[in-house]
Amino acid sequence: QEAGLIPVLNDPGEIEIWAERCRQTGNRKPCALHFDTGMNRLGLSESQALQLAADKARLHSVSPVLIMSHLACADDPQHPMIDRQKQAFDRLRAVFPGFMGSLANSAGILAQEGLGYDLTRPGIALYGAEAIDSTVGPMDSVATFEARILQVRHAKKGETVGYGATHVLARDSVIATVGAGYGDGVPRAASGDGVPLRAQFPGAVGHVCDKDVPMIGRVSMDSCMFDVTDIPAAQLEKAEWIELFGENVAVDDLARACGTIGYEILTGMRERCERSYSHDPSGD
């Protein structure tokens, strides 16, 4: 209540709990009703929604201000599921007149017109990541993940890198080891080395000294390695950090290298990663 939040009610049991709380406090507090329109994850079924609409006393007892549903396939703008869910949502809006409606998530906002209704619910778009496959949205990235360079070493052509000796150097190389691994949220499959299912995909890259550098060898628990051979020694000597994603490396590019999505990368950053927040009042 202090934060001005309202609950989203997903089933008849939650509606009854909220109605009882309102009765106990003598105050009908607002709520949102979540309807399932085809995702089969959360929400009232269409039949449950119709029963609720017909029970005016019960509906009045919980004081809903918003009806909502969630799109399952908005990341594919041509998917027929979008229209099926919109039609189902429109049917429900017809039996719940006067309430605000909300259907569009990040992908729904970008997918097509007509999904916005009264309220949209951007999620991944707030972080500047892709909401629609291979589509760059209008937002800038707001999150950067950097790892400190722990050691720079020289290795000979034919030598191997990392666990399993999965990466064989094709030339005399300079290798930078950074202090971030799968224990920090860097997926073990990121480089593609030694991961058969990922072998046909480009591995992840980092960014240092204004250049992209390939990740090589298997990701370890606390570290991973980059080929920095093409970075001039004088520049590399001054470098302290390698960017794994952020302004120069899209989080979705890292995700594709790992066979996953940007959502999983962003939510997978472990607690032991140091977090720093900045705010630019100018909005730049």
**Same domain, residue pair 250 and 171:** yes
Range of the structural domain that residue 243 is part of: 145-267
The candidate with the shortest Cα–Cα distance to 147, out of 272, 15, 12, is 272
Query: Is residue 50 in some structural domain?
Result: yes
Query: Is residue 118 in some structural domain?
Result: yes
The CATH number that applies at residue 177 is 2.40.37.10
Query: Is residue 280 in some structural domain?
Result: no
Query: Is residue 121 in some structural domain?
Result: yes
The candidate with the shortest Cα–Cα distance to 93, out of 68, 62, 112, 63, is 68
The tokens describing 105, both together, are 């998530």
Q: What's the pTM?
A: 0.86
pLDDT level of residue 153 (50, 70, 90 thresholds): very high
Domain count, the chain: 2
For residue 214, which amino acid is it? P
Share of residues in the chain with pLDDT > 70 (%): 94
**How far apart (Å, rounded) are the C-alpha atoms in residues 247 and 262?**
14
Asked if residue 167 has pLDDT above 80, the reply is: yes
Query: Is residue 122 in some structural domain?
Result: yes
Least confident of 13-17, 45-49, 141-145: 141-145
**pLDDT tens-digit readout, 228-253:** 999 999 999 999 999 999 999 999 99
pLDDT of residue 281: 61
**Same domain, residue pair 225 and 171:** yes
Q: Which of 92, 127, 162 is the last residue before a domain boundary? A: 127
**Same domain, residue pair 96 and 49:** yes
The candidate with the shortest Cα–Cα distance to 22, out of 30, 34, 33, is 30
